[in-house]
Amino acid sequence: VSITIGTHVMEGSGRMVVTAVGINSQTGIIFTLLGAGGEEEEKKDEKKKEKKNKKQDGAIENRNKAKAQDGAAMEMQPLKSEEGGDGDEKDKKKANLPKKEKSVLQGKLTKLAVQIGKAGLLMSAITVIILVLYFVIDTFWVQKRPWLAECTPIYIQYFVKFFIIGVTVLVVAVPEGLPLAVTISLAYSVKKMMKDNNLVRHLDACETMGNATAICSDKTGTLTMNRMTVVQAYINEKHYKKIPEPEAIPPNILSYLVTGISVNCAYTSKILPPEKEGGLPRHVGNKTECALLGLLLDLKRDYQDVRNEIPEEALYKVYTFNSVRKSMSTVLKNSDGSYRIFSKGASEIILKKCFKILSANGEAKVFRPRDRDDIVKTVIEPMASEGLRTICLAFRDFPAGEPEPEWDNENDIVTGLTCIAVVGIEDPVRPEVPDAIKKCQRAGITVRMVTGDNINTARAIATKCGILHPGEDFLCLEGKDFNRRIRNEKGEIEQERIDKIWPKLRVLARSSPTDKHTLVKGIIDSTVSDQRQVVAVTGDGTNDGPALKKADVGFAMGIAGTDVAKEASDIILTDDNFTSIVKAVMWGRNVYDSISKFLQFQLTVNVVAVIVAFTGACITQDSPLKAVQMLWVNLIMDTLASLALATEPPTESLLLRKPYGRNKPLISRTMMKNILGHAFYQLVVVFTLLFAGEKFFDIDSGRNAPLHAPPSEHYTIVFNTFVLMQLFNEINARKIHGERNVFEGIFNNAIFCTIVLGTFVVQIIIVQFGGKPFSCSELSIEQWLWSIFLGMGTLLWGQLISTIPTSRLKFLKEAGHGTQKEEIPEEELAEDVEEIDHAERELRRGQILWFRGLNRIQTQIRVVNAFRSSLYEGLEKPESRSSIHNFMTHPEFRIEDSEPHIPLIDDTDAEDDAPTKRNCSPPPSPNKNNNAVDSGIYLTIEMNKSATSSSPGSPLHSLETSL
């Protein structure tokens, strides 16, 4: 039985009423929203039904008759509801559940890779066909040679050579490195994010974070430090905006302050040294009392010395803090027989009991109501407007000669006080948060605060963080107001109503866990903006679980977070800090950029290599780049390039642009300009060397060489220049937004530098010592310098390309779009329409079984009544139960609020007073919880009893008894 969460009974005795158990308790609701325990609940309900059926012996006979006579057999049909459908449909849907949706990036890359692969396959097939036809026509048609049997092995060798060239074109065209690049980029990012205090639990969350458009953040512990601290004080008639130095306070006031705070706090409240060196001291016990003890430490005084002097046993009388008195008082008995009482509490309560105040020189002076009003206006209200909690500290002396006060009469004791000080306490905003939120807003991400605090504190903290700015037209709502605005008259949540609120909503205060889930779901399901919103949520408690699960990316707190929150999350913040979320955004965007950089580099190589192999083969009957050389090029452009370009560290500049969005193509127009521009330069260089290289370098031509001819210098220069152009183009590929400085931050990525230099060294070895296996001939220093010069030309050419404005190149197409809605098959779309949210499905599964049971009972009652009375010729359909069903979707909404009230069964028995009974409301349910299921069963039985006066021997009586 789950009663409540996180409650400690401190004192007193009482009785307890269990209002909800199982899936209907708050814990149950949270776990069903998380999708936990659905199967178990279903099994339990099935078992219950079996038992119920065994018990209903009196009704079985009648039911069998009903089945025989009434072909409809209504009881066999499950409850029809918006997610309903029949049992078979539900089973089909269940079978579809495990299908894991691809991430946005995976979807785009898969589609792009398939398109490129098809193009490559076509090109390789055409190459082979052209080579074979050219050879056959030239040999047997033009030269008119006969096919001699002894020449067959030679011809077969030629065909094998053509096939190898075709395979080479295919290998180069198919981007095998794409999946590798994504995996490397994500794995590298995840490893590095760990250093930025982001523990990634689901790999694609890292990539999704790059598209985030909204962050719903907790306040306590995420935006604030979760450490109550005294930040302002009114002492000796001065309002200090910062904690004063001890020397600025008169010694006697300081003495009252130190003693009052030290003894008039629970002795269990302490400040302990930090666990780790350089960390913050640990607050143990009441947070507000720890703030006051922290004030003493700031004033360079030690509360422990006072407590050692006056141990807890020496306290004469303690009036503990409670919500009624909103104060705490402790009485000390002095050695001379006098008493001193120290009191602390809410400033509005204690100040009313103060008749004196300690003045600037440390002496007590009269404190009139007018003075109190002045302090309220000049001190307390300004503190409250900044979201501070104000506490007043006071004392009173009882002289030794007077008779002992009547300690039980608290009102007479805690009065006539002398005010020592008024302090302002807050949970301070983390110093780095305002800057982090500013970065998020600049990056096009809206930050919303969702907190259980009161609206004034929430608004003040939101203003300090920079979530709210003075003069801006943004909404701050409380949970009640939010619910009132988003629900219709029946209490159902309407998406149109949410759409009117969420774009301007910045602070949601006094919110329940369900409010948070509703807001997140509402933003994700919204269609008012051009792009689907990608929502990140932070949370630490068990009650944040549903929202964390529903969000695109859920961030759980590593220190303050519960196991349930961590289990429901995608990323765990190991330092509980909002700044780490900004780092996650940077890494997410960096993953996208890394993939785009790799694509820009690889597609340039693909285009050039395929065209060179195809054209060269068609013109010269042989590919200028041999199969093994192509494999080396493929290794450079796939494996090594993906490693080099996918490990670029993120920079702050990533936060200077808006989110890409889910439908943004992977290859932008700028990237297409770079790909085609560099491909043009490389093709010109390669074809010039191929057809005029032998004249330029004064060497033998390598074209039209016989079948097993040794490697030529000519083709080695073509291969060497081609590889060096790719190496220098790898540097160009580091920038995808048209930046001119391609070397910026190049030394920050050691992997990139190592791979480029390593590839260059291996290329020298292949050319100089590769020989026949690599079809390479040694080159001279001069030939090497020319190859390097032509390779470096790509850097200069890149500068020329970047001067051409992309806006003028409208004819260039973008590529690598996400799957558009119209491209999805109609069957899948229809399936999606019917399919409800996972969390909702889990929540409703148990309820459907309950309602199915209700449906059966109603049918049985009707059938029995039809037999009993000749007044009724036909069965009526049960009335709609939509209001109750919709209520259960949002369990915090009470059934009493759902108007008009719809009865669960038709009262069709009504001998004389049927019309009256149909309209009468049912008796109140004994379980006053917001549980439609229990209330529904109760209503059914009660209304049946009120509508039918059955004799003990009747079949209906036996049914009632069994119920």
Query: Among candidates 879, 813, 221, 192, which has minimal Cα distance to 557?
Result: 221
As a 3-state breakdown, the chain gives helix, strand, coil percent values, each rounded to 5, of 55, 10, 35
State the Cα–Cα distance between residues 942 and 950, nearest whole angstrom: 13
Structure tokens at 645: 């370009």
Q: Out of 218, 576, 593, 907, which one is annotated catalytic?
A: 218
The whole-angstrom separation of Cα 144 and Cα 138 is: 8
Return the CA Rg of the chain: 39
d(CA 170, CA 165): 9
Helix (H, G, I), strand (E, B) or coil at 738: coil
Cβ–Cβ under 8 Å, residues 266 and 307: no
Tokens of 873: 């010729």
Q: Which residue in the block uniquely carries the two structure tokens 């800090």? A: 577
For residues 478 and 448, the answer to whether their CB atoms sit within 8 Å is: no
Two tokens, residue 807:
């806006």
CB-based contacts of 39, cutoff 8 Å, min separation 6: none
* Residue keyed to tokens 């910026």: 744
Tokens 């599964």: give the residue. 845
Q: How far is CA 373 from CA 208, 341, 365, 380, 605, in A?
A: 54, 25, 16, 10, 79
Q: Which two tokens stand for residue 143?
A: 């030269």
Q: Please return the burial class of 177, using the count of CB atoms within 10 Å of its CB with bins 0-12, 13-18 and 19+.
A: buried
3-class DSSP assignment, residue 382:
helix
Task: Write out the DSSP string of 934-951.
Answer: HHHHHHHHHHHHHH----
CA angle, 34 then 36 then 38, to 5°: 120
**Cα distance between residue 897 and residue 902, in whole Å:** 12
Q: Which residues pair with 397 in a beta bridge?
A: 340
Q: Return the sign of the alpha-carbon dihedral for residues 475, 480, 481, 485.
A: positive
**Is 218 an annotated catalytic residue?**
yes
Residue pair 573/200 in contact by the 8 Å Cβ criterion: no
DSSP string covering 200-237, please?
ESSHHHHHHHTT--EEEE-STTTTB-S--EEEEEEETT
Report whether 524 contacts 546 (CB < 8 A). Answer: no
Look up residue 819 and give its two tokens: 């799957």
CA distances for 447 relative to 208, 464, 727, 799, angstroms = 17, 13, 42, 39
Instruction: Count CA atoms closer than 13 A to 176's CA, side-chain side.
Output: 12
The CA distance from 397 to 343, in Å, is: 12
Q: Are 839 and 546 in contact (CB under 8 A)?
A: yes
Identify the residue whose tokens are 């190459």: 127
CB 602 within 8 A of CB 678: no
Q: Is the peptide bond before 900 cis (omega within 30 degrees of 0)?
A: yes
Q: How far apart are CA 192 and CA 578, in angstroms?
A: 18
Partners of 339 in the β-ladder: 333, 398
Q: Which residues carry out catalysis?
A: 218
